[in-house]
Amino acid sequence: MLTKKISIASYSYRQPPLCLCFINISSLAAAATAHRPAPPVMCEWYRRNYACGHHFTGASEWCYRYSQTQKRCKVVVTQVDYDSSVCKSCMKKGVKTEVPWEHMIDRSKFDPNQE
């Protein structure tokens, strides 16, 4: 049997060699992941369709590969949501911003409804 001699100050003792036991790695991995679900193989994407006709595509869950490399998978939409509202860009176009000098503008000559 091979041993390795270790000396500390004046005290010396013998340490046994490392144990080369055979461990079933697959059973340990299965036991470690039994309590949690496996990460998705690909990123899960969703699409939200708005009433204005626009849509938004986003990731609902990133895969393990993305969390390690920051490289996105191919976009495969797995879920489609329909939203009855308009998107943010259309909402911004529809809302006119009021300026501080609005009270000074005479809009009566430009109003077609006024006689």
Domain boundaries, the chain: 38-87
pLDDT band at 20 (very low <50, low <70, confident <90, very high): low
Give backbone dihedrals phi and psi of 63, rounded to 5 degrees, phi first: -85, 175
Q: Is the pLDDT reported for residue 47 higher than 90?
A: yes
Positive or negative CA dihedral for 71, 74, 79, 84? positive
Say which amino acid occupies 63. C
- Say what the pTM is: 0.45
pLDDT digits (tens, 9 = 90+) for 67-106: 889 888 888 888 999 988 888 888 877 766 677 887 888 8
CA–CA gap between residue 77 and residue 102 (Å, rounded) = 46
